[in-house]
């Protein structure tokens, strides 16, 4: 086997490994979001950032020179394609979960703001019915 073919196989296997690891992290994040435990996502971020950077770099290299993976063989390329589809589906599901959580948070904040605006307590923006204005006299 030529050196170029071995290099192509190594590149594709590296992309496969990165894609699998990122998919696992996103799957774990999705489970945390579905369980309404978003605070636990922070622990996963360093690994996710490291993997995402390596993945992006590998993708850029392949995009710049598609021939660098052409010798990897159809089996590995097909495996990478299938893993990429799974990864993209899980990422899309995560976007939907985050969008839903954001919408719910905004809805709660809007309801709180509306309720605060309705209150009759001084200092919350509503005037008391029949209350006389307060005038401060520095001579008093």
Reported as a single tens digit per residue, the pLDDT across 39-58 is: 999 999 999 999 999 999 99
Task: Quote the pLDDT of residue 125.
Answer: 52
Q: Which residues of the chain have pLDDT under 50?
A: none
Residues 6+ apart with CB under 8 A from 80: 12, 15, 16, 19
Helix (H, G, I), strand (E, B) or coil at 73: coil
What per-residue confidence (pLDDT) applies to 133?
63
Q: What is the predicted pLDDT for the residue at 11?
A: 93
pLDDT at 21: 97
In this prediction, residue 88 carries a pLDDT of: 96
- Give the CA angle between residues 45, 47, 50 to the nearest 5°: 105
Q: What is residue 134's predicted lDDT score, i.e. its pLDDT? A: 59
Residue 137, pLDDT score: 61
> Which residues, in sequence order, are CB contacts of 58 under 8 Å at separation 6+?
11, 14, 15, 18
Q: Do 55 and 48 form a contact (C-beta atoms < 8 A)?
A: no
């Amino acid at each position: 086997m030529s050196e170029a073919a071995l290099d192509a196989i190594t590149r594709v296997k590296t992309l496969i490994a990165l894609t699998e690891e990122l998919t696992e992290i996103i799957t774990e994040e999705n489970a945390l979001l579905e369980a309404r435990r978003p605070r636990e996502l922070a622990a996963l971020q360093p690994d996710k950032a490291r993997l995402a950077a390596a993945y992006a770099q590998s993708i850029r290299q392949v995009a710049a020179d598609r021939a660098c993976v052409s010798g990897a063989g159809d089996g590995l390329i097909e495996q990478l394609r299938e893993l990429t589809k799974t990864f993209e589906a899980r990422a899309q599901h995560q976007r939907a979960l985050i969008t839903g959580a954001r919408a719910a948070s905004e809805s709660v904040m809007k309801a709180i703001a509306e309720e605060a605006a309705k209150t009759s307590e001084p200092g919350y923006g509503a005037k008391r019915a029949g209350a006389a204005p307060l005038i401060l006299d520095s001579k008093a």
